[in-house]
Amino acid sequence: MKFAFFPGCTMAYRLPFAEKSIRMVVPHFDVELVDLAFTCCPEPNTVRALSDDTWITLAARNIALAEAEGLNILTACAGCHESLSLAKHELDENPDRKNKVNELLKDLGLEYKGTSTIVHVHQLLFDEIGIESISSKVVRPVPIKVVTHTGCHLLRPERVLHVDNAEVPVKLDMLCESLGMVPLEYMDKTMCCGAGVRKINSVTSYAILREKMTSIAMVEPNAIVVFCPTCFITFESGQRVANRIFGTDFKIPVFYYTELLAIALNLPETDILLAEHRVKIELPTSTETKEENKTETKDSIPSSP
Amino acid sequence: MSDMSEDLQTNRLKELKETALPCFQCGVCSSSCPVFRVSPELNPRVSVDSIISRGKVPSEGNEWLCAYCLMCDQRCPMGVSLAEILMVIKNISAKEGQAPPDVIESAESLMADGCQSPISSRSEKQREDMGLPKLPRADPEDVKMLFRATGAAEVLELNRSTSGEASE
Amino acid sequence: MTTSHPKGSSAGPPEVEVVSSEPELRIGVFPCKCGKNIGAVVNIDAVAEYAKTLPGVVHVQVNTYTCADPGQREIQEAIAQHGLNRIVVASCSPTMHEDTFRKTVKAAGLNPYLCIMTNIREHVSWVHQHDPASATKKAMDLIAMSVAKAATLVAQPELDVPVTQAALVVGAGVAGMQAALDLADAGFKAYLIERQPTIGGIMAILDKVFPQNDCSICILGPKMVDVAKHPNITLITMAEVESISGYVGNFEVRVKQRPRYVNMDKCTSCGDCVEVCPVDVPSRTDQNLTWQKAIQIPFPQAVPSSYFIDPEACLGMDLIRCGKCIDRCEQEAINASDRTKYVDFDVGVIILATGFKPADPSKTPRLGWGRFPNVITTLEFERLINAAGPTEGKLVRPSDLLKPTSVAIAQCVGSRDIGTRSACSNYCCAESVKCALLIKEHYPDTDVTIFYQDLRMHGKYFEDQYLKAREEGVKFIRGRVGEIQQYPDTKNLRVSVEDTTHNKLSMENYDMVVLSMGAEGAAGNFPLPISCTSDSFYIESHPKLKPVDTSSAGVFICGGAESPKDIRDSVIQASAAAGRAAIILQKGRYPIEALSAKIMQDICSRCGTCVSRCPYGAISQDGTGKFTVMGALCQACGTCAGDCPQDAIYMPNFTSEQIEAQIETALVENTSEKIVAFACAFCSYRGSDLAGVSRMQYPTNARVIRAMCSGRYSVRFAQKAFELGAGAVLYSGCHLPADCHFQTGNVWMAKRESRIRGWMKRNNIEDERFRVEWVSAGEGKKWQNIMTEMAHVVTTPRKNSSTPKTPTVAKSEKPVKPKTKAKPKGKQASKPHSPGKGTSTKKTTRKK
């Protein structure tokens, strides 16, 4: 499989280690990534709030770039995924709108046709590759307790995105299980992390995060696993801000899922990923976990003494 | 493609009212809203009520607080797209020069750089250190052209002048 | 007794005599203002003036309410004074009042089939409220079409059929039981069919019933015994209706009964078998909160009072696989060789009391049912608070079996939500208040909060119930529950609601939440095509005046099958349905519409196509090769006529000649902007009426032609309309495949579509100008959409607009041609017939 890779501004310039982890793991599943001259997706809460036409035209330009190469788009950020998917949905449903957009793209030598699909890394791993294939490649299981946060923009609007059940998401939990983690149920699982309103009113944003973190802390997980760089930053850096504002004491490490996948595949250089984390975690060492895992579970995993 | 005239604005309100009409004010949206949970100033039910019963956009501008998490949209028993309604309210508010400064700043950065926040040389260096490829960038002129042709540049200009007035 | 051949019988007078008996066509037109309903939109006086100019019309009289007594009297007086021999009443839908006016003219000595209606209310004033000028023009056109049709109406003999004096009642919940008991008490035989092993329905599993909160099974139990013991009731449980044929008065029913594996006559309900049965199955009565055995009785008061074996769960009724119950039963009641049985019987009437399904809580995932053990439904609550339930009436929460100290009740679950059912369930408010009172009665210290959207305490004594709950300290908060979250350790529940009275978010914790569940429709899976609403409830014949009749004569509905309702309303409807049914049974004979098909032998080419089209087997070939129609079997759908290559089948009141006259009249002017819309009487026409009743506005382009069934619409009608320049043509019928009131008429109509499209292509007529649609009686909105879309098609300029060149176009210089040619009785031999023509005699017989 070959994709036009759409890391998005946030991941590319604020969370490069998460992008690195994606680039590290996908070749192991025969996935090839191509970089194109994309702009921001663009983020709906800013650009679309100013002009719906600007939002859809920029999104159409991004998709058209991939279409020109005959590639589907692989997104890594929930926000980008939703923005591009909604724009595509609107353009495919509304020919008038498509024609208007194409009038402008013509000047750039582009045309939106509707031929490329938008796939998030979440969907690539769960729907295309599948958890069986993933767990068969795991050599270093990660036996930690986690809570998962799929992210608003991967779940909703459910009628357009179809990534997971929007009220009861389970797929990211299953992906975590396939790496040896224990996903925990917690309250407010589908609640927003608060990122969406940070630019407008940061206190509101961190108050939302406080609510969410309170529910998460209740089940005492070792880490939070996300599939969105914006959620990652909100959880990781936001905890400290929330602690400062509200006097709370949150200190839970955060992972973008493919980081843990890289570790479970025992890929070299995963240290450089973890080095960038602001809330540190001691992951159980490789040999320990393999022993445990082997004796407890199945015997099909190749063992190394 | 830009629609700045008064008539179009009124038409949009009319359309908005039509999509909001099935709302029976049950409160499922508000009780699902993470923002309302911590900041009672944003109540999506009340925003929709204002559209339906008063036929106008609420003047307080609280709709900018919407995090666009789409929880209300997901759960509305009458299938009203609340987040879309709030988005249109923001559109109208922006065209009246009421967009919050940080939104304007992000949009300006996007118009200039193709990216929401300015790309610093530090972050470029960090990518390089990590062995990540340098990402191809869009021609800034192309982005500017699209901003101008689709109305955002005009809205930005408008908000720049109003914020200027306000600061004076 | 068998029916004699109803019409076309040898006694029928030859055609010549019919013509001479009514030498002059004298049509009376009666436009109605219907108060302001029509009068405020349509200029009735202008319509009346126009009607006077129509050929054959000798008298026009406007009335404010034609259906009222003075209005009817005026029609009768006008018949006498002016010697009227055809009547056109231009008022509301024929579905509403055709019967009324037929009786009116009959009382004045006129054959009732000489009276027809023009629908200028549901099809004009109510749907074109903002365009009085076009509405008035449309009303004029519709009246002209009716006058053209009236000119060729022929008196039909009135017929009746004998009635089998027995009733089929389907479903033995409280409604079906009541209906069967009422009929049985009135002296009629009743067959009561129940799918489950016991009768009693949902009421049998409730604890107390509002508003007096008396014990449900205490009042239902004796009634169940009455049913079992009544000499006039044959109760068949574990059974479903397999097939029904025939018609009102003469239904032949086949019931399929599943094996019970226990001989009901021998079983003493001692329960010894249960002690040895090794298989546990979730208890249906207890809402899966506990277990029963594979051999079981649903509850102690079950009727019949006999055990049964669940064959899916049973290990095997032989001593090798299990057979413990056989071994144990001293009565030797276990019958391992029990088989599916078929029971056949005849009835005159049918009452459908098939009930509703409780709504499915998993369709509202935000409330956590199924994930959070302490979120329960109202029915689960009923079992937990019921002394006969799994906890012997002690209210506990499922997660830890502890008594809850605080309970929230969330209303409108499964109701008022487009994702489940958009309508109100009608009973969930009263149910919630009842649950709250039951908790307070047993545990006064428990904190009970009801979250309501609109508290609809609409029934008799309901408000008292509400006040009592207030007095008992039940809290009422206005706001619909947005979500429920469960604390991972305590399994307590956090309920998020906006208190919409105070614009304030309430996020309180409760030990338990009861979801007040609505209802889902379960109607439609029945071997008789009775129209259903889009949410699967049966549609009544008239929402106010015939609320328990259906569009099928002799078939009645009651209880939850008609709409969600409480016990009292179910019983009221059941007695009403029994009363309506008894009218038919008691008379012994039932008048049927004299509209059955007749084959015109002189034109018939003996191809036999009609035989395959008839869903009732009413057409057969005699020894001489002649095809004839058995009148009492024919239901007058006209599907045979729709496909007759020779157009040799005469459908009284819906003849090809009459329909083509309507088409011609509709297309006198502005043809390219006109839509000729065919609608079947039982689904599409009622759907169009619903659009009217609901005041759904749409453009005025359509001219609707009503037929009994879409099977009647021949290929020729669409061709004729296009030849005359129609902008568009609509063929609308009941939904495929099984909704057709006449079983397969819609299927045969659908098969004609490709022929029509092929013909259109050859004649350069754009594809979008012809539409085949399926509109049910509940789809007013769909009718509005179709009308609006098709109006867009006819008003959008076409590139290469084309009208096929045919002789018919050339003739159109004469506008409306009422054809008084009396051409009835299939037997006349003289005149050659060709579809759409036959003009030779008209001018001479037409008046003026």
Name the residue in chain A with its Cα closest to that of C488. Answer: A186
Q: A2-121 has which CATH code?
A: 1.20.1050.140
Half-sphere exposure for C490 (CA within 13 Å, toward CB): 12
pLDDT exceeds cutoff 50 at C13: no
pLDDT value at residue C834: 44
pLDDT value at residue A285: 57
pLDDT value at residue C247: 81
Q: How far apart are CA A203 and CA A241, in angstroms?
A: 10
Touching A (3+ Cβ pairs <8 A), the chains are: B, C
B window 20-59, beta carbon within 8 A of C: 24-32, 36-37, 40, 43, 45-46
pLDDT value at residue C2: 38
Tokens representing A88 are 């595509």
pLDDT, tens digit (0-9, with 9 covering 90-100), for A252-278: 999 999 999 999 999 998 999 999 999
Mean pLDDT, range C570-585, rounded to an integer: 98
Q: Which of A258, A297, A283 is nearest to A28 (CA)?
A: A258
CA angle C394/C395/C398 to nearest 5° reads: 115
Q: Which of C412, C419, C483 sits opposite B31 (nearest CB)?
A: C483
pLDDT value at residue C807: 47
One domain for residues B134 and B67: no
pLDDT bin (cut points 50, 70, 90) of residue C11 is very low
CB contact under 8 A, C371 and A168: yes
Q: How far apart are CA A264 and CA A180, in angstroms?
A: 8
One domain for residues B77 and B113: no
CB contact under 8 A, A54 and B73: no
Q: How far apart are CA C425 and CA C173, in angstroms?
A: 18
Cβ(C299)–Cβ(C198) below 8 Å: yes
Q: Which of A20, A54, A204 sits opposite B65 (nearest CB)?
A: A204
Number of H helices, E strands in chain B: 10, 0
pLDDT bin (cut points 50, 70, 90) of residue A290 is very low
Q: Which of C366, C497, C500 sits opposite B75 (nearest CB)?
A: C366
Picking from B68, B95, B122, the residue at the C-terminal end of a domain is B95
One domain for residues B160 and B113: yes
pLDDT exceeds cutoff 50 at C479: yes
pLDDT exceeds cutoff 70 at A294: no
- Residue B1 counted as domain residue: no
One domain for residues B12 and B78: yes
The share of chain C scoring above pLDDT 90, in percent, equals 80
Residues of B in contact with A210 (CB under 8 A): 38
Decide which of C434 and C13 is more confident. Answer: C434
pLDDT bin (cut points 50, 70, 90) of residue A302 is very low
Separation in Å, CA of C373 to nearest CA in chain A: 14
User: Which CATH number characterizes residue B41's domain?
Assistant: 1.10.1060.10
One domain for residues B86 and B113: no
Separation in Å, CA of B166 to nearest CA in chain C: 32
Residues of C in contact with A186 (CB under 8 A): 488
Mean pLDDT, range C367-377, rounded to an integer: 98
Report the Cα C435 to chain-centroid distance in Å. 34
Domain of residue B112 covers 101-167
Order the strands of the C475-478 sheet from edge to edge: C375-377, C512-517, C406-413, C447-452, C475-478
pLDDT value at residue A157: 95
Mean pLDDT, range C748-756, rounded to an integer: 94
pLDDT bin (cut points 50, 70, 90) of residue B165 is low
Contact status of A59 with chain B (Cβ, < 8 Å): no
pLDDT exceeds cutoff 80 at A288: no
Half-sphere exposure for A292 (CA within 13 Å, toward CB): 13
Contact status of A301 with chain B (Cβ, < 8 Å): no
Cβ(C484)–Cβ(A188) below 8 Å: no
Separation in Å, CA of B67 to nearest CA in chain A: 4
Q: How far apart are CA C397 and CA C407, in angstroms?
A: 10
One domain for residues B20 and B88: yes
Mean pLDDT, range C78-91, rounded to an integer: 94
How many separate domains does chain B show? 2
pLDDT value at residue C806: 53
Separation in Å, CA of B75 to nearest CA in chain A: 9
Decide which of B98 and B10 is more confident. Answer: B98
Tokens representing C42 are 């349509």
Q: What is the mean pLDDT of chain C?
A: 90
Side chain identity, residue C802: S
- Residue B84 counted as domain residue: yes
Residues of A in contact with B149 (CB under 8 A): 57, 104
The DSSP-derived string for C621-672 is E-TTS-EEE-TTT-----HHHHH-TT--EE-TTS-HHHHHHHHHHHTSSSGG
Q: Which residue has the tokens 């300015």?
A: B118
The share of chain A scoring above pLDDT 70, in percent, equals 93
Separation in Å, CA of A17 to nearest CA in chain C: 33
Q: What length does chain B have?
A: 168
Decide which of A235 and C13 is more confident. Answer: A235
Mean pLDDT, range B44-66, rounded to an integer: 88
Contact status of A194 with chain B (Cβ, < 8 Å): yes
Contact status of B110 with chain A (Cβ, < 8 Å): yes
Q: Find the radius of gyration of the CA atoms of chain A.
A: 20
Q: Which of B124, B135, B146 sits opposite A58 (nearest CB)?
A: B146
For residue A80, give every residue at least 6 positions away whose Cβ sits within 8 Å of its Cβ, in sequence order, or none: A6, A8, A41
**3-state SS of C659-721?**
HHHHHHHHCCCCHHHCEEEEEECCCHHHHHHHHHHCCCCCCCCEEEEEECCHHHCCHHHHHHH
Touching B (3+ Cβ pairs <8 A), the chains are: A, C
pLDDT exceeds cutoff 80 at A19: yes
Backbone angles phi, psi at C371, to 5 degrees: -100, -35
One domain for residues B79 and B142: no
Contact status of B10 with chain C (Cβ, < 8 Å): no
Decide which of C809 and C278 is more confident. Answer: C278
DSSP 8-state code for residue A74:
E
pLDDT value at residue C805: 55
pLDDT value at residue A289: 46
Contact status of C494 with chain A (Cβ, < 8 Å): yes
Mean pLDDT, range C526-549, rounded to an integer: 88
Separation in Å, CA of B150 to nearest CA in chain A: 5
pLDDT value at residue C777: 86
Mean pLDDT, range C149-160, rounded to an integer: 88
One domain for residues B115 and B87: no
Separation in Å, CA of C353 to nearest CA in chain A: 37
Q: Which of A82, A43, A85, A34 is nearest to A60 (CA)?
A: A85
Q: What is the mean pLDDT of chain B?
A: 88
pLDDT value at residue C543: 85
pLDDT value at residue C803: 60
Mean pLDDT, range C51-73, rounded to an integer: 94
The residues facing C167 across adjacent strands are C190, C349
- Asked which of C208-217, C422-431, C635-644, C808-817 is least confident by mean pLDDT, the reply is C808-817
pLDDT value at residue B56: 78
Residues of A in contact with C365 (CB under 8 A): 165, 167-168
Q: How far apart are CA A237 and CA A228, in angstroms?
A: 14
pLDDT value at residue C594: 78
DSSP 8-state code for residue C225:
H
Decide which of C408 and C845 is more confident. Answer: C408
Tokens representing A257 are 């899922």
B window 119-158, beta carbon within 8 A of A: 119-120, 123-124, 126-127, 130-133, 135-139, 142-143, 145-147, 149-152, 155-156
Tokens representing B76 are 């509305």
Q: Which residue has the tokens 């949905």?
A: A89
pLDDT value at residue C631: 77
- Report the complex ipTM: 0.92
pLDDT bin (cut points 50, 70, 90) of residue C682 is confident
**3-state SS of C179-219?**
HHHHHHHCCCEEEEECCCCCCCHHHHHCCEECCCCEEHHHH
Backbone angles phi, psi at C435, to 5 degrees: -55, -45
CB contact under 8 A, A197 and B143: no
Q: Which of A260, A240, A263 is nearest to A250 (CA)?
A: A240
What domains, with CATH codes, occur in chain C? 259-338 (3.30.70), 364-520 (3.50.50.60), 598-629 (no CATH)
- What is this structure's pTM? 0.81
Picking from B79, B95, B111, the residue at the C-terminal end of a domain is B95
The share of chain B scoring above pLDDT 70, in percent, equals 91
- Residue B37 counted as domain residue: yes
pLDDT exceeds cutoff 80 at C830: no
Decide which of B29 and B163 is more confident. Answer: B29
Q: How far apart are CA A262 and CA A23, in angstroms?
A: 10
pLDDT exceeds cutoff 60 at A95: yes
Separation in Å, CA of A282 to nearest CA in chain B: 22
Helix axes C132-150, C44-52, angle to 10 degrees: 30
Q: How far apart are CA C721 and CA C728, in angstroms?
A: 8
The residues facing C506 across adjacent strands are C497
pLDDT exceeds cutoff 70 at B2: no
Q: What is the mean pLDDT of chain A?
A: 92
pLDDT value at residue A296: 42
One domain for residues B63 and B112: no
pLDDT value at residue C318: 82
Contact status of B59 with chain A (Cβ, < 8 Å): no
The CA-based diameter of chain A, rounded to the nearest angstrom, is 64
Backbone angles phi, psi at A118, to 5 degrees: -110, 120
E strands, C488-535, are: 493-499, 504-510, 512-517, 519-521
Cβ(A248)–Cβ(A210) below 8 Å: yes
**Domains of chain A by residue range:** 2-121, 139-286
Name the residue in chain C with its Cα closest to that of B30. Answer: C498
pLDDT bin (cut points 50, 70, 90) of residue C159 is confident
pLDDT value at residue B5: 53
pLDDT value at residue A240: 96
- Asked which of C2-11, C186-195, C401-410, C646-655 is least confident by mean pLDDT, the reply is C2-11
pLDDT, tens digit (0-9, with 9 covering 90-100), for C314-355: 998 887 889 999 999 999 999 999 999 999 999 999 999 999
pLDDT value at residue C178: 98
pLDDT, tens digit (0-9, with 9 covering 90-100), for A35-83: 999 999 998 888 999 999 999 999 999 999 999 999 999 999 999 999 9
One domain for residues B14 and B84: yes
Decide which of A134 and C99 is more confident. Answer: A134
Mean pLDDT, range C40-45, rounded to an integer: 95
Cβ(C747)–Cβ(C736) below 8 Å: yes
Helix/strand/coil for B116: coil
Contact status of C481 with chain B (Cβ, < 8 Å): yes
pLDDT exceeds cutoff 80 at B136: yes
Name the residue in chain A with its Cα closest to that of B157. Answer: A50
Name the residue in chain A with its Cα closest to that of C493. Answer: A187
Mean pLDDT, range C108-128, rounded to an integer: 95
CATH 3.30.420.140 fits A139-286, yes or no: no
pLDDT value at residue C487: 98
Name the residue in chain A with its Cα closest to that of B61. Answer: A200
Task: Select the residue from A11, A39, A159, A208 to test the B interface by mutation, using most B Cβ atoms within 10 A.
Answer: A39
pLDDT exceeds cutoff 60 at C216: yes
Tokens representing C328 are 């144990």
